[in-house]
């Protein structure tokens, strides 16, 4: 009987303890809050992330990851189902970044939004959760940049190895020797040409004086040409006036003198014709000078016509 009572008491204690633990956990969880489903689309690795990982919005815990699975549309995207508190304002400009928790290696999702305050909200529902883009974190950006820098350093090292090869070193040595020889010869050439440069300075001075004289001569020649052009313009004006005068005289001769001269010539021609007829008459009948020209015999129809 005592053994049965002890077992009953132990069982009752275990039940009460379990209920107390459940109540304590529920109390620690806080009041139940409404959550909205969203889906984060990741194109890179999500190592360290697992279901029930925490989700933060600008450093404030606002939800957790509920599931992780691959996209079924043939892409290599990873879909992260998350549940966020309804008080979180998720807009179309909100994006996610994967961050790590120190030395533990566990990861969490950080939601950020650098868009305008009046940006439209991202619609979501249980059947069609709103999609949030995951961008590379600062560490991933450094890794990408570091990989590019490492490749460039590797290429630079290969180029240095080719540059420092024995053949290249020997070639550089020959080039330096040639440069030294050229420098020596240039010094010798400058030493030989220094007297010529010394004699060349007075020539430059004389050249300056000659150029000055040539400038003066050119200016005088320009003045002479300008004077000659002015005289030519005056001669052109005089020729134009002479042409006008000749044209006026020709017009006067054509309009006044020529008609009178033609009339006089016509009168002289008529007088010459009459004189020629007079000379012919006197030659044929000299008495006509006293008695006048004989009258011609009467013609038909006139008085005295005989018809013989």
For residue range 185-222, what is the model confidence (pLDDT) as tens digits?
787 777 776 666 666 566 566 666 666 766 777 777 77
- The residue among 90, 141, 81 whose CA lies nearest residue 111 is 90
Average pLDDT, the chain: 77
User: Angle 301-303-305 (CA atoms, 0-180°, nearest 5)?
Assistant: 70
Element (H, E) at 225: helix 166-252
Residue 59 and residue 112: Cα distance in Å, rounded?
9
Residue 265 and residue 65: Cα distance in Å, rounded?
138
Cα dihedral sign for 180, 181, 182, 183? positive
Q: In this model, does residue 287 exceed pLDDT 70?
A: no
Do residues 88 and 57 touch, judged by C-beta distance below 8 A?
yes
Band (41; pLDDT cuts 50, 70, 90)? very high
Residue 129 per-residue DSSP state? P
- Alpha-carbon Rg for the chain, nearest whole angstrom, is 66
Q: In this model, does residue 267 exceed pLDDT 70?
A: yes
Residue 21 and residue 260: Cα distance in Å, rounded?
156
Query: Residue 54 class from Cβ within 10 Å (0-12 exposed, 13-18 middle, 19+ buried)?
Result: middle
Do residues 30 and 61 touch, judged by C-beta distance below 8 A?
no
Please state the rounded mean pLDDT for residues 140-167. 74
> What percent of the chain has a predicted confidence (pLDDT) above 90?
21
pLDDT recorded at residue 182 = 83
Specify which of 16-30, 49-63, 254-268 reaches the highest per-range mean pLDDT. 49-63
Residue 75 and residue 67: Cα distance in Å, rounded?
18
pLDDT recorded at residue 115 = 86
Residue 298 per-residue DSSP state? P
Band (54; pLDDT cuts 50, 70, 90)? very high
Do residues 36 and 83 touch, judged by C-beta distance below 8 A?
yes
- Side-chain-side CA neighbours of 253 within 13 Å: the count stands at 6
| H helix count then E strand count, the chain | 5, 7
List phi, psi (to 5°) of 285.
Answer: -145, 85
Q: Which residue has the tokens 């006026």?
A: 248
Residue 129 and residue 19: Cα distance in Å, rounded?
36
What's the whole-model pTM score?
0.42
pLDDT recorded at residue 55 = 95
**Across 21-25, 82-86, 201-205, least confident range:** 201-205
Both structure tokens of 27? 């109390």
pLDDT recorded at residue 207 = 60
pLDDT recorded at residue 80 = 94
Residue 39 and residue 123: Cα distance in Å, rounded?
12
Tell me the per-residue pLDDT of 252-266, one tens digit each, with 9 for 90 and over: 655 666 677 677 777
């Amino acid at each position: 009987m005592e053994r049965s009572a002890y077992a009953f008491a132990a069982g009752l204690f275990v039940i009460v303890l379990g209920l107390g633990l459940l109540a304590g956990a529920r109390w620690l969880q806080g009041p139940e809050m409404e959550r909205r489903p969203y889906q984060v689309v990741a194109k890179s690795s999500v190592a360290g992330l697992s279901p029930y990982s925490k989700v933060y919005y600008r450093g404030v815990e606002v939800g957790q990851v509920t599931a992780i699975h691959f996209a079924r549309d043939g892409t290599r995207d990873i879909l992260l189902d998350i549940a966020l508190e309804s008080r979180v304002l998720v807009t179309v400009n909100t994006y996610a970044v994967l961050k790590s928790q120190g030395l533990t290696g566990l990861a969490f999702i950080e939601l950020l939004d650098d868009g305008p305050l009046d940006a439209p909200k991202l619609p979501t529902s249980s059947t069609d959760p709103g999609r949030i883009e995951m961008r590379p974190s600062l560490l991933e950006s450094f890794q990408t940049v570091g990989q590019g820098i490492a490749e460039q350093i590797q290429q630079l090292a290969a180029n240095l190895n080719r540059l420092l090869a024995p053949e290249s070193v020997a070639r550089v040595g020959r080039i330096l020797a040639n440069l030294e020889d050229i420098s020596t010869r240039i010094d010798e050439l400058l030493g030989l040409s220094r007297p010529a440069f010394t004699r060349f300075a007075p020539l430059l001075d004389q050249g300056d004086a000659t150029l000055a004289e040539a400038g003066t001569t050119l200016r005088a020649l320009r003045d002479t040409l300008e004077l000659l052009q002015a005289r030519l313009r005056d001669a052109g004006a005089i020729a134009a006036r002479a042409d006008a005068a000749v044209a006026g005289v020709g017009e006067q001769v054509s309009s006044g003198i020529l008609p009178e001269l033609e009339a006089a010539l016509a009168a002289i021609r008529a007088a010459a014709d009459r004189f020629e007829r007079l000379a012919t008459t006197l030659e044929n009948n000299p008495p006509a000078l006293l008695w006048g020209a004989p009258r011609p015999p009467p013609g038909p129809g006139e008085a005295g016509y005989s018809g013989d």
